[in-house]
Structure 1
Amino acid sequence: MSLKTQMVAWLALLVAGILSLVWAYSYGGGADGGLLDRAGPAVTWGLPTAKLVLNLGTAGTIGALVLAVFVLPRGGTAYEAARWFAGWSAAVWAWGAAVHTYAGFLLLANRAPSAGFEEEFLTFITRIDAGRAGVLTTLIAAGVAILCFWVRSPRILAGALVAAFAGLLPLVLKSHAAGGIDHADSTTAIFLHAAAAAVWLGGLLTLVVLRRVLPAGQVGVVVRRYSTLALISYVALVVSGTLGALARISTVEALLSPYSAIVLAKAGVFIILGLFGVVHRRWSLGRIARDPHRGGRHFAALAVVELAVMGAASGMAAALARTEPPQAAASGGLDAALPGPDAWEYLSRWAPDPLWSLLCGFAVFAYLAGVRRLRAEGRSWPAYRTLLWLVGLAVLVMVTNGGVHVYQGYLFNAHVLTQMMLTAVVPLLLVPAAPLTLARLTVTARTDGSTWVKEFLERSVQPVLAALRRDPSLTIFVLAASLFTIYYTPLLEWAAQGQIGYSLMSVLALLSGCLVTAALTGTPDPGTSSSPRNRLPVLAGIAGLYAFGGWKLVEQAPAMELPWNTSVGRLWGPSPAAAAEMGGPMMWTIAAVALAIITATVIRRNDPHPGTPSQGPAGSAAPDHRMDMAS
């Protein structure tokens, strides 16, 4: 791709972004300063413009780092160019965040930039949440820039990518999505939306920048890998955008508001971008495979047009951040309408969670795709494992999207029920489905140093699982650390008051439960302390841990319920089903059933020849139970 084409791509992105920003900001009413406005048009328009710059810098940072970690061959000119582009993008991100924070202060204080306000500005960035969020975002972006410029280690670059994603959180938590006090906010949807958009837009922008230094033989591989990430991002954008919009637009009156009109226009742009994606996958990839040089030029031309459309979406997104959303249709919201908790309400209510809806959907698709690939190669896969995986994910969807999810935001005992279902019940279904074994048999390993599913599992998950299998007593400490973090750290309050805290709690509970279950139920290594007979004392220790944990929950229930009472009050009075003390018996009951099943599995596998391999159907080796674990 020539330098001229790159300049055209940048120009198309910026011009489309600015034009759409001007339209959306004017139409949405954000540009109306009002009669008492003393900040002036420089601040009124500087704030959304800084937001646009911030968004583009974030996208360039995350997109370039994603390509460096997951797409580009390790080392070489393209890898180094991606690292430097991520660093410069992070510098732009930091500058945009600083200007956005400064302009936000001016707008809040209703002052012109020329007025003196040093002390007030210091108060804003140290004591006001919006100011502190802006400073934190600026510092994270600056830190990511320093890492990208000074460090070449792939592991540290992966850490920089994690930090970049974390840099999205401060402003998301201060957005419109976090304005409510109930558990039905849309902060997770906004975060996923921003992260997916950054991967998609930033990845394409990085490809345009790197096209000149990519060897012809690598263009097809790199574009194909990026196309997979773009497809995942598009699905995440559609789901998170839809759920986020529904959280703000729930009535006909709200649908007729300027905010909704901008959202609908943005949705139309996404439909166009989806058509571009289809053209890329069905036309561009084939041409690149046949003729990398000529196909690469066609891809570049299509990418320029696509970046212009993405710029329009980015401009509208920046304007939406400063557009007043529709007012709630009725006072009281869910609090006034939610009936008392009972079994029917837990089973029948529905509140889609964007994170878990996406994770479960991708998990179903990936597992079934793996089974299909095995069968296409003439190998078979036990049907009971597929059934267990689907049932396990169905239960996971019910826990994280159904009535349990709804009441978790209002009741402490529902919080305990959520944690125990994720820690003790769901893993009993997912672990025997052996997803790691399926991945080992179906995912192709990469040889160019980049990291994908198989490399991540081999370098990160399997060593941890192997250590737990060698010394099963470590599972007690893993479970104890998980329970302590969930109930005796600020995570308890975060889970009660917002979606981000709830998501962190859910992920921690599920991962710890899967690790413990996989370590205790998998086929042990012969001649080690992990034989089934030696696992029984460990199970007794876990039973004791749950007994102690449940007793502490009963004893400390009134104090532990405080975050929920602070948020929503006691909606159902002294109802026994709403009593916080029910959390302890819930923990005991679920733990007893789960541990009984695990104990029966351990005793059943007390084979005197555990290392003897068996043959699976169609002459293929039976899947290795040592890798049985939910990914």
Structure 2
Amino acid sequence: MASAVAGLALLLLVVGLAGDVYTPLGNADPGAPTTYGFAVVRLVADAAAAGCCGGLVFAAFVAPGRRGGALSADAFAATRLAAGCAVCWLGAALVAVPFSAAVAAGLPVSRTLRPEVLLPTMSATEEPKAWLCTAVAAALATALAFSAMTWRTVVSAAVLAVVGLLPPVVTGRVSVGAGHDLATNAMLWHVPAASVWLGALIALLARLRRDTAIPDLVLLRYRRLSRWCFVTAAVSGPVAGLVLARPDGLLGGYGLLLAVQTAVLVAAGTTAWRGRRPAAELVLLALSAGASVALTVLVPPGFVNHPATVQETLLGYGLEAPRTVARLVLDWRPDLLFAPVVVLAVTGYLAGVRRLRRRGDHWPPGRVVAWIAGWAVVLVVTSSGIGVYAPGTFSLHMVTHMALNMFAPVLLVLGAPVTLALRALPAGAHGEVPGARDWVAALVHAPVTRFFAHPAVAAVLFAGSFYALYFSDLFGEAMLFHWAHQLMKVHFLVSGYLFAWVVIGADRTPRRLPHLARLGVLFAVMPFHAFFGVIVMSKQTVIGYTYYHYLDVWWAGDLLTDQRLGGGIAWASGEIPMLVMVIALLVRWARDDERRARRADRHGAGELDAYNAMLAELAARRN
């Protein structure tokens, strides 16, 4: 209770001292009740969301489970705590819909409660729709959490809850203005990390209230989780704040509050790192949460001091300089969503290989090279000049699309990451307690994985998404929003990985296909990429015309000509990875046949030896 009061008091103090936060943005003032009310509702929603997400993560990965996927008593209690928080989160998210609409429209919340006012406001602004999406995710997480009796259900609820955190983030103030690409990507790390940390701490304290004797394994897992969350939140939060404030805005109220929030977060992380006084850690995290919500109320100095151009409004940066080979190679702008994933994936993979080699096990160097090369492709097309200039023209966008959807996945699946994880990760401790290896195995064989790894589903997602995205209004709408553009990239990479995993993956899939069937799936999909490129080259209308018209890149030339170039890139570049997949599949087929032949020879030699021994025994008896 003290922690909640502390966070609320800090929030109300900042809102009271903020003054007029609407006129600098060109918005009307909805009144003090709406301003204070929305701030309080958002704090309640964030706290309840943290309790839901963190409680579910605690139940899934901190509280020791049981073999077979059954929940332990501690995991069950944490899940029920998360379910209660989810109910509160659902209610707060629904209340936030009219409040966010009132703030966007500059009207008292009492007026936006009327359908004739609320519905047009929701259609014209993004944040009310974001809170509605959060409410849907919270409702699903509530239903799963209350019905959860197995580990997989808890993980599914946790994934839904974490996804539900994101819509208000990607449509808030971090999503507009110059540098919004950096700020939004940073907050996509910060909010889940801070929420899981706070919620897991609440679950730990609830466990302490029931029994002060906590197993060492629970404390060890919580400390590891809290340290990862602390490092992630302590790095990503200031990055987003600095982008929004700019150096010349750090001396005002916004910069002061950002410094206070960062200092409190570091103090909480220091307390968690030492593993002492969890109650003090909770108070500090509550103060940090209050400061975070208060930052969403204040006007970021960068908005006022550095008005954004049209290109900066759409992309976060400008494309005034024409693209050249030198700029494509040297003009790097880190994608703060993908770049950390690349670093973590490569580092974790190399750590696994090192663990295998330390205990004397062999891991093929070719797999290491393939894994690193695959992530290198992802890094180059998202953070180098190619990624910077890709939103400016359809042809460069198609380069990134094909690289993420076809080139990188082929290399990544040849790295066999699941096999490495199952061999390198530690097994469960204390006999009946599952560990990281058990978690990976359970997720690989989960029903949702079996569904998406079905050859028909993987093939439709891989080839069909081209047609659904580019031959409808979806592409043009998605390019207008940074979060939708990032989601598009994630879809390219994941759908490509699923298909490559099913066809040529070195890891065993939940549904094992004969090599002939895999070859048939591959040949069935190949024409769709060629047809897609031909259709794009022959189209007489510009795909995503509104977006490219708004962007107005002067050096891009004729949009239709550039689009035809993009279709040619899709047609030509699609053949190379398909050929690589065919070769890789044939090589794997030959190796498997050779392995089976050797096994049969060994089996036949054993039978021959037994037959000869029998004849020798019979001959000895006759003599």
Q: Is the 8 A contact 1:64 1:83 kept in 2?
A: yes
For structure 2, which runs of at least 5 residues remain unmatched after alignment? 600-623
- What is aligned with 2:6? 16
**Paired position in structure 2 for 1:303:** 278
Which residues in structure 2 correspond to 1:561-580 (within 5 Å)? 561-574=544-557, 579-580=562-563
- Alpha-carbon distance between aligned partners in 1 of 2:16 and 2:58, rounded to the nearest angstrom: 36
Does residue 50 in structure 1 map to residue 27 in structure 2? no
What's the offset of the Cα at 1:248?
1.6
| 3-state secondary structure, aligned to 2:363 | coil
SS in 1 for 2:580: helix
Of 320, 330, 333, the match for 2:295: 320
Structure 1: how far apart are the matches of 2:128 and 2:342?
A: 36
Matched, 1:430 2:412: yes
In structure 1, the residue matched to 2:173 is: 176
| TM superposition shift of 1:549 | 1.4
Matches for 1:323-472 after TM superposition, within 5 Å? 323-326=298-301, 327=303, 329=306, 331-332=308-309, 333=312, 337-446=319-428, 452=436, 454-460=438-444
**Cα distance between partner residues in 1 of 2:580 and 2:115:** 63
Is contact 1:196–1:237 with CA below 8 Å preserved after alignment?
yes
Is 1:497 the counterpart of 2:488? The answer is no
The equivalent residue for 1:289 is: none
Aligned 8 A contact 1:179 1:185 in 2: no
Deviation at 1:200, TM superposition (A): 0.8
The structure-2 alpha-carbon separation of the partners of 1:458 and 1:107, relative to structure 1 and needing over 3 Å to count, comes to: closer
Given that 1:239 and 1:358 are in contact with CA atoms closer than 8 Å, whether structure 2 keeps it comes out as no
TM-score by length of 1: 0.80
Query: For 2:112 and 2:530, how far apart are their aligned partners in 1?
Result: 61
Residue range with higher mean Cα deviation, 239-248 or 314-323: 239-248
Whole-Å Cα distance in 2 between the matches of residues 277 and 538 of structure 1?
51
Report the Cα distance in structure 1 between the residues aligned to 2:456 and 2:573, rounded to whole angstroms. 21
User: 193, 196, 202: which one pairs with 1:196?
Assistant: 193
The CA distance in 2 between the partners of 1:480 and 1:242, in whole Å, is: 40
Structure 1 residues 82 and 229, CA, compared in 2 at 3 Å: closer, same or farther? same
**When the two structures are superposed, what TM-score results if normalisation uses the length of structure 2?**
0.81
Where do residues 88-99 of structure 1 align in structure 2 (5 Å cutoff)? 88-99=84-95
Asked whether the 8 Å contact 1:83–1:149 carries over to 2, the reply is: yes
Indicate how the Cα distance of structure 1 residues 24 and 78 shifts in structure 2: closer, same or farther if over 3 A, else same.
Answer: same
| Residue 543 of structure 1 pairs with residue 526 of structure 2 | yes
Tell me by how many angstroms 1:407 deviates: 2.2
The Cα of 1:60 is off from its aligned counterpart by 0.5
Of 208, 224, 237, the residue aligned with 1:228 is 224
| Residue pair 1:411, 1:561 contacting (<8 A) in 2 also | no
Provide the aligned length of Structure 1 versus Structure 2: 578
Distance 2:175 2:329 in 1: 27
Distance 2:136 2:538 in 1: 42
Which runs of no fewer than 5 residues in structure 1 stay unpaired?
A: 1-9, 281-298, 615-631
| Alpha-carbon distance in 2 for matches of 1:104, 1:116 | 9
1:609 alignment partner in structure 2? 594
Moved more, 549-558 or 335-344: 335-344
Preserved CA contact (<8 Å) 1:398 1:404: yes
In structure 2, the CA distance between the partners of 1:498 and 1:557, relative to structure 1 (3 Å rule), is: farther
Instruction: Choose between structure 1 and 2 for higher RCO, CA contacts under 8 A separated by at least 6 residues.
Output: 1
Partner AA of 1:66 in structure 2:
V
Residues 259 and 64 (structure 1), Cα distance of their counterparts in 2 relative to 1, 3 Å cut: same
Report the counterpart of residue 483 of structure 1 in structure 2.
Answer: 466
Kept in 1: contact 2:443–2:449 (CA 8 A) = no
Counterpart residue number, 2:496: 513
* Aligned residues of 1:356 and 1:397 also touching (Cα < 8 A): yes
Q: Which SS does the other structure have where 1:409 is aligned?
A: helix
2: CA distance, partners of 1:322 / 1:125: 20
Instruction: Give the distance between the partners of 1:391 and 1:127, measured in 2 at CA.
Output: 44
**Aligned counterpart in structure 2 of residue 276 of structure 1, from 241, 260, 271:** 271
When the two chains are superposed, the root-mean-square deviation of aligned CA atoms in Å is: 3.8
The question of whether the paired residues in 2 share the 8 Å contact of 1:188 and 1:499 is answered with no
Mapped to 2, the partners of 1:524 and 1:150 lie a distance apart of 33
Q: Which amino acid in structure 2 is aligned with residue 310 of structure 1?
A: L
Percent sequence identity over aligned pairs: 26
Give the aligned partner of residue 81 of structure 2: 85
Equivalence map 1:262-273=2 (5 Å):
262-273=257-268
Contact 2:101/2:118 (CA < 8 Å) preserved in 1? no
Counterparts of 2:512 and 2:114, CA distance in 1: 65
Equivalent residue, structure 1, for 2:621: none
CA contact (8 A) 1:335 1:568 kept: no
Looking at structure 1, the residues matched to 294 and 287 of structure 2 have their Cα atoms a distance apart, in angstroms, of 11
